[in-house]
Structure 1
Amino acid sequence: MTYGHAHAEHYDLVFRSRGKDWPAESARIAALVRDRAPAAATLLDVGCGTGAHLVTFAKTFAAVAGVEPAEAMREIAADRIGAGQVHPGDMRAFDLGRTFDAVTCLGFAIAYMPDTAALDAAVARMAAHLSPGGVLVVEPWWGPEEFIDGYVGGHLVREDGLVISRVTHSVRRDGATHMRIHFVVADADGIRTFHEDETNTLFTDAQYRAAFERAGLAVTRVHDRDAHPGYLVGVKG
């Protein structure tokens, strides 16, 4: 999915109003990392979006960086943590020329991979950016047995003269979730509408685990009541 500027501009506001708590999520993920690598000091967030997680990670780790393919999202992240710390790149092929004590891939970004070959490539690139003993934390998308075909979602945001309506419809096709997202944005300048389409592959737990193992990572699934369906955590030997 390529996030446009209109979507990126309102992304954090919409999800914050739905209850998303980036600082709390970042704290839980930092704890997962430090449980396995207590001295971890550097972190890379792949598919970092607007950098909302990185803002908190920067308070916990000595150095942080991000990779984000969507220009509109990357610009916001760069404003938050510094342009030199946020890099363009496809998670299947990026190469920053350095390693980190921890690598994360959150917000279901891994599910943008279209098939298992792409999943393997992405996890392999993340693992290649880990120092020995480093930790990879991936937040997976729903599995094929969990997705509700025909699911309809809706949310309304009201804040300081701004109203945003976000309505979604999702169907299962060819092993993936295909979601149409419609926005209506109203403020003092008028009413604007736009839509975007998002495709998330419904990988199985076994497919995720196999990708980690092929990348040389010992993997466990960590369940979290506040972050269903939890996290996949890999440690580099």
Structure 2
Amino acid sequence: MYGPGMAEIYEILHQARGKDYRAEAATVAGHVRVRSPRAATLLDVACGTGAHLREFAGLFDEVEGLELSDAMLAAARAAVPAAVVHGGDMRELALGRSYDVITCMFGSIAYLKDTSELTSTLRSFAEHLTPGGVVAVDPWWFLETSVEHHVSGDTVTVGRRTMTRVSYTEREERTSHMTVHYVVAEPGGGVRHFAERHDLTLFTRAEYEEAFAKAGLRVAHIDGIQSGRGLFVAVGDTDL
């Protein structure tokens, strides 16, 4: 789970590495509008620091978020003060209301441990949809397209702060174990180092599609976007 050190630099670091939250939110909204032109309310599950949520707020009438990490939750509430951001786990989603759109971005769905959790979580998403609502999930890499050993590194400077991110990801059966080290330096603040580990499940594309179907969601996969991982866009049955 992301801690305070990462929450502080998360958004600015990924933006400096080339992530375009505004463009990604607009792409998701475009696919949603094709399926539900009047969609007005949105819940962003595992919303992190609220970077996508902030952009969704300009595209939908009412947005809310859900985040498990206390540090990221505080950042999201500060980033989008007009939005309700709930603390909680996507596995235990029970907000007592429904939304026209539910999103789960940046591979966060892969924190689910197995296909049983994936199916039950997507079923919970479906239960929180208005009739004909839309679920958009930005997946982690598929098992069949994952790399066994992957190293990535970037150094960026934003303002007076220089940040280095180096990651090593090792695949073990159906899990990618990603260890990430960060070095942050700035005048007057010295140099800080911290590391985090993320265990992400490698579902197959077919397993995602089967889980959506079991949840009562009619799904399509949009290839070639979200850094090559694609995007699942699903429509709920009108009688849910």
Residue of structure 2 equivalent to 1:235 = 235
**1:219 — aligned with what?**
219
Q: Are the aligned partners of 2:100 and 2:134 in contact in 1 as well (CA < 8 Å)?
A: yes
Quote the offset at 1:203 in angstroms.
0.2
Inter-CA distance 209–226: structure 2 relative to 1 (3 Å threshold): closer
CA RMSD of aligned residues (A): 1.2
Runs of 4+, deviation exceeding 6 Å: none
- Alignment correspondent of 2:205: 205
Structure 1 length as normaliser, TM-score?
0.96
Change (3 A) 1:84 1:222: closer
* Contact kept in structure 1, 2:65 and 2:83, CA below 8 Å: no
Does the CA-based 8 Å contact 1:93-1:121 persist in structure 2?
A: no
SS at match of 1:50: coil
For residue 174 of structure 1, report the CA deviation from its aligned partner: 3.1
Q: Superposition pairs for residues 1-237 of structure 1, below 5 Å?
A: 2-82=1-81, 85-188=84-187, 189-225=189-225, 227-237=227-237
Q: Using the alignment, how far apart are the partners of 1:135 and 1:84 within structure 2?
A: 20
**What are the superposed Cα offsets for residues 58-95 of structure 1, whole Å, 9 maximum, x if unpaired?**
11111000000011111111012227610011111121
Percent identity for Structure 1 against Structure 2? 43
2: CA distance, partners of 1:8 / 1:161: 18
Distance in 2 of aligned mates of 1:133 and 1:224: 26
Q: How much has 1:173 moved relative to structure 2?
A: 1.0
CA distance in 2, matches of 1:48, 1:225: 19
Mean Cα deviation higher: 115-124 or 61-70: 115-124
Once residues 10 and 147 of structure 1 are traced to their aligned partners in structure 2, the CA distance between those partners, rounded to angstroms, is 27
User: 2 CA distance for matches of 1:99 and 1:185?
Assistant: 41
* CA displacement at 1:145 relative to structure 2: 1.9
Q: Secondary structure of the equivalent of 2:90? A: coil
- Post-superposition Cα deviations, 1:24-52, rounded to whole Å, max 9, x if no partner, equal 11111011111000110000000111111
Unaligned runs of 5+ in 2: none
Q: For residues 207-235 of structure 1, what are the alpha-carbon distances to aligned partners after superposition, in whole Å with 9 as ceiling and x for unaligned?
A: 10111111111111111345412111110
Equivalent pair of 1:132/1:236 in contact (CA under 8 Å): yes
Indicate if the aligned counterparts of 1:47 and 1:91 stay in contact, CA closer than 8 A.
yes
CA distance in 1 between counterparts of 2:17 and 2:152 reads 12
Could you tell me which runs of 5 or more consecutive residues in structure 1 were left unpaired when the two chains were aligned: none
SS in 2 for 1:166: strand
Find the aligned partners of 2:132 and 2:223 in 1 and give their Cα distance. Answer: 22
Counterpart code for 1:192? R
